[in-house]
Amino acid sequence: MGRLRVAVIGLGVGRRHLQSYAAMPDVEIAAVADTDAVRLADCATQWNARPYTDARRMLETERLDAVSICTPPASHCELTQAAAAAGVHVLCEKPMAPTVADCTAMAAACRDAGVRLMIAQKKRFHPLVARLKALTQAELGPIRWAVVKYALGRVPMDWFWAEEDGGGPLQENSIHAVDALRYLIGEVASVMAVGGNLFNPERAPQIDTASVSLRFQNGAIAAMGLGQASEWGFADEHFFFACTGGEARFSGRFDVPVNWWMALRSAPDQPEAEQVPPDDCFDREIAHFLECVRTGSEPLVTGEDAARSVAVTVAIKESIRTGEKVTLAD
């Protein structure tokens, strides 16, 4: 496969996708789509791409190899199905969709059309997450207990808070932390959570903050503090892992962890500490997607896989609203 023709739908976070595509060899940004005329004109000019206000028309008109779907989650299913029908490989921003049913429909559409579907759970591509993943299969051993603080700053967009769209902080954003734990530990068996609308009364009854307990199918456990409880000036994240062979931690500004610490149980007085360069993971994520398009290989985050992370965030909110433990399907 030679030069790839790509497009981006949704030019908010989609701008960052465009930056990565523009830096990749043998990639042509053919088209961009957005309903905001100013953003559309700006991006079309900057990246010399044809502008479309109608994404479906773009998919029907352009000869594309791949597309990034960076719109609010409520539109992901319809746009993914349209891309699949046009024979276009899809990189879709997280969360995959508001409901597990929509996720299932997206995965089926791409599978039936013979195109790749990858969901942009970018934390899997962070160097510290990759390092920890490798170490849990080596000297650190399996994770048995994790503790996570993942609290973002304020978000003004209405779609972010709408139950039928972004689903609020516990779905639209906390899915990053949920997916990272699933990737590192395994599938979640059950969820117990408490939470409420503690910091955003104007967004009630949407849940903005939660304390969550997860039990995994392999017996591991995790405690998570999630939601919109910080201000952007001091928002940060902390991930702690107790493993059979030692402990590891990474932390940093929200969405940009740079601090690493690890100690082995066999050498507790010889801890390892390091600070790595900031990395927003988009370049790594998009390079992986394009490699899958070129080679036909399976993405690190398939549609079926990402749907299970959505199922966990849905279960967290269900547990909060019912006061009951929620058991997830195998």
Nearest-angstrom CA–CA distance, 173 and 130: 20
Tokens of 219: 């017996």
Within the chain, residue ranges assigned H as helices are 14-23, 37-46, 55-61, 76-85, 100-113, 127-136, 158-161, 169-172, 175-185, 282-295, 303-322
Contacts of 322 (CB under 8 A, 6+ apart): none
Q: pLDDT 10s per residue in the chain (330 long)?
A: 679 999 999 999 999 999 999 999 999 999 999 999 999 999 999 999 999 999 999 999 999 999 999 999 999 999 999 999 999 999 999 999 999 999 999 999 999 999 999 999 999 999 999 999 999 999 999 999 999 999 999 999 999 999 999 999 999 999 999 999 999 999 999 999 999 999 999 999 999 999 999 999 999 999 999 999 999 999 999 999 999 999 999 999 999 999 999 999 999 999 999 999 999 999 999 999 999 999 999 999 999 999 999 999 999 999 999 999 999 987
Virtual torsion, Cα 282, 284, 1, 83, nearest 10 deg: -40
Class level of CATH domain 4-122+282-301: alpha beta
How crowded is residue 251: how many other Cβ atoms within 10 Å of its Cβ?
16
Report phi then psi at 29, rounded to 5: -80, 105
CATH 3.40.50.720 boundaries in the chain = 4-122+282-301
Report yes or no: 170 and 160 within 8 Å, Cβ to Cβ: no
Task: Say yes or no: domain 123-281+311-327 is CATH 3.40.50.2300.
Answer: no
pLDDT of residue 2: 77
Report yes or no: 53 and 82 within 8 Å, Cβ to Cβ: no
pLDDT of residue 329: 86
Tokens of 35: 């309903």
pLDDT of residue 1: 64
CATH 3.30.360.10 boundaries in the chain = 123-281+311-327
Contacts of 320 (CB under 8 A, 6+ apart): 193, 194, 195, 196, 207, 210
Prior bond of 95 cis (ω within 30°): yes
pLDDT of residue 29: 98
Nearest-angstrom CA–CA distance, 316 and 97: 16
